[in-house]
């Protein structure tokens, strides 16, 4: 606990409170692996959900410090493995055949994380080298215990601190539970990997391994083997001749492209889930946590980023109010000034001189001052943005996130917020309305019968038919506009 508080430069009252509150629990729980550093050992002993938190911190040396980030890097893929026998037993149960029949070779674990571990294997039928991911035995129960503890903590926070309710701690835990439960079914992960590969197949410098569906099930999954250097090993990247500055920019831009263009992005992009192929391509692995955002949210997010890039804090403030992220009774101009205090230190300054910890602390103050509630639909997006920026800065400490993001965001703005977007929206509207075309005569007849029955008792109530004919007129108008656009 002391090491973490030191890393965050916590104030003296918080240190004292942590020591007093933590003393009764000092001798409870699993002691963990004594060979590990204190913080890594503690998070590993607490359980898989806490390890996830450590993985996020490991990507942000600018927040927790270089030493602590390096200590927690082992949480990404170097945790204690379970036995090969247990892995083979799980495979046999899922696929109905012995692992030794399906695979001519099956290695010891090459990576072990909080939820699963990975083995290198060779498919007996084809001779192809693959990666076989197998869930840890009992992981479902371990996560259930952690989540129940989180729910208890969230209830206590809401009860003891009414002001914290704007952060919606119970909703956040509920969202986390949904993400984790999906991660524990590898059939869903295989589907995510397949969709992600389809979305990104034209992306230059990026790869997603192929799913082997006939060798995948609920508790195990098989992907094509990814040869490459871990993105967390700077020395190996330099030895292989890769340009780390270019990689830092590409990994951030790829994330933004996937989030804005597709609305479907890898939401666990720490160094342990990213490799660099011999040809320089970035290879993504581990698709258990994927994020999805709808078109409207993408446009809001892009406008906020674009406003920061242009340093138009007034527009950024307006977007927050338009989207309902800030209560309408708050002062828009004052909010714009608060955003300026967040954005201005970033521009024109070497990234190594920016204290991300201080910046995040101020952002939290701003959200509290203006009564901003947690938006659960943005949790994965915001979390991944923090992680990806941390990965990029680990490759190039001088990287400025706004300069790198600018071309991607500007391209999305041109395509999605402007005349082309209006044309696209009109076409989509016509498509939706056209689906109801065959039903319109029946709807008109039903409304006319209803109106005739109600006519004698309420002779002036003609709004149902009027509304229906208004809808039909709107549909016809939209269809004509769509036709004109198509012809033009």
Written as one string, the DSSP assignment of 421-471 is HHHHHHHHHHHHHHHTGGGHHHHHHHHHHHHHHHHTT-TT--HHHHHHHHH
- Helix or strand run (H / E) with residue 91: helix 84-95
- Rounded CA separation 324/343 (Å): 21
The pLDDT value given to residue 91: 96
DSSP letter for 290, please.
E
Residue-wise burial string across 299-325, b where 16 or more C-beta atoms lie within 10 A, e elsewhere: bbbbbbbbbbbeebbebbbbbbeebeb
The pLDDT value given to residue 200: 96
What are the backbone angles phi and psi of residue 12, rounded to the nearest 5°?
-60, -45
The pLDDT value given to residue 126: 95
Query: Where do the domains of the chain lie?
Result: 1-78, 234-417, 420-487
Displacement of CA 365 from its chain's centroid (Å) = 23
The pLDDT value given to residue 189: 93
Spatial contact of 272 and 52, defined as CB atoms under 8 Å apart: no
The pLDDT value given to residue 468: 46
Structural tokens at position 92: 């046999």
The pLDDT value given to residue 373: 73
Place of tokens 């708050």: 330
Q: How many CA atoms lie within 13 A of 175 on its CB side?
A: 18
**Which residues are part of the catalytic machinery?**
268
**Residues facing residue 123 across a β-bridge:** 103
- Rounded CA separation 231/247 (Å): 9
Place of tokens 């071309």: 407
Helices (H), ranges, 165-267: 169-183, 186-200, 234-239, 244-257
Each residue's pLDDT, cut to its tens digit, for the chain (488 residues) gives 455 555 445 555 545 544 544 444 444 445 555 566 667 777 776 666 677 666 666 666 655 666 776 676 666 666 788 999 999 999 999 999 999 999 999 999 998 887 889 999 999 999 999 999 999 998 888 878 878 887 887 888 778 777 667 667 787 777 777 777 778 899 999 999 999 999 999 999 999 999 999 999 999 999 999 999 999 899 999 999 999 999 999 999 999 999 999 999 998 888 889 999 999 999 999 898 898 888 888 888 888 888 888 889 999 899 989 988 888 889 999 999 988 887 787 666 666 666 555 665 666 677 778 877 767 667 778 778 878 888 898 899 888 887 888 899 888 888 877 666 666 667 766 666 666 667 767 767 777 777 676 665 555 444 444 544 444 454 444 444 444 444 33
Helices (H), ranges, 217-372: 234-239, 244-257, 295-310, 313-322, 332-343, 356-369
The pLDDT value given to residue 109: 93
Spatial contact of 147 and 52, defined as CB atoms under 8 Å apart: no
- Rounded CA separation 290/191 (Å): 11
The pLDDT value given to residue 389: 84
């Amino acid at each position: 606990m002391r090491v973490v508080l030191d890393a965050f430069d916590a104030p003296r009252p918080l240190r004292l409170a942590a020591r007093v509150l933590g003393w009764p629990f000092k001798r409870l729980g699993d002691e963990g692996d004594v060979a590990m550093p204190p913080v890594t050992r503690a998070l590993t002993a607490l359980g898989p959900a806490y390890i996830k938190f450590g993985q996020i911190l490991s990507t942000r040396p600018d927040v927790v410090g270089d030493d602590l980030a390096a200590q927690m890097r082992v949480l990404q893929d170097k945790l204690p493995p379970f036995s090969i026998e247990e892995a083979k037993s799980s495979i046999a149960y899922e696929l109905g055949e012995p692992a030794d029949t399906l695979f001519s070779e099956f290695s010891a674990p090459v990576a072990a994380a909080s939820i699963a571990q990975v083995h290198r294997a060779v498919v007996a039928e084809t001779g192809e080298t693959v990666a076989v991911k197998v869930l840890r035995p009992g992981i479902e129960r371990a996560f259930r215990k952690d989540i129940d503890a989180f729910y208890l903590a969230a209830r206590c926070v809401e009860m003891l601190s009414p002001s914290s309710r704007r952060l919606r701690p119970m909703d956040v835990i509920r969202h986390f539970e949904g993400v984790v439960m999906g991660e524990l079914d590898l059939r869903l992960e295989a589907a995510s990997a397949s969709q992600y590969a389809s979305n990104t197949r034209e992306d230059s410098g990026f790869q997603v391994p192929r799913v082997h569906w006939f060798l995948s099930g609920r508790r195990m999954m098989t992907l094509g083997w990814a040869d490459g250097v871990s993105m967390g090993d700077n020395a190996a990247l330099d030895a292989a001749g890769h340009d780390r500055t270019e990689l830092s920019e590409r990994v951030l831009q790829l994330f933004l492209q996937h989030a804005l263009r597709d609305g479907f992005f890898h939401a666990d992009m720490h160094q342990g889930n990213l490799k660099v192929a011999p040809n320089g391509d970035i290879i993504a692995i581990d698709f258990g946590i994927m994020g999805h955002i709808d078109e409207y949210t993408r446009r809001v997010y892009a406008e906020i980023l674009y406003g920061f890039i242009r340093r138009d804090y007034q527009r950024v403030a307006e977007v927050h109010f338009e989207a309902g992220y800030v209560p309408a009774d708050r002062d828009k101009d004052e909010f714009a000034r608060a955003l300026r205090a967040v954005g201005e230190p970033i521009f024109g300054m070497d990234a190594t001189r920016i204290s991300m910890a201080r910046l995040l602390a101020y952002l939290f103050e701003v959200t509290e001052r203006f009564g901003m509630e947690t938006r659960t639909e943005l949790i994965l997006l915001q979390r991944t943005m923090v992680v990806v920026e941390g990965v990029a800065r680990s490759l190039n400490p001088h990287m400025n996130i706004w300069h790198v993001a600018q071309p991607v965001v500007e391209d999305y703005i041109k395509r999605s917020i402007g005349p082309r977007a209006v044309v696209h929206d009109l076409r989509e509207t016509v498509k939706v309305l056209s689906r109801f075309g065959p039903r319109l005569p029946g709807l008109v007849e039903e409304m006319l019968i209803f109106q005739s029955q109600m006519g004698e008792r309420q002779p002036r109530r003609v709004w149902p038919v009027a509304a229906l004919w208004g809808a039909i007129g709107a549909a016809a108008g939209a269809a004509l506009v769509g036709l004109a656009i198509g012809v033009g």
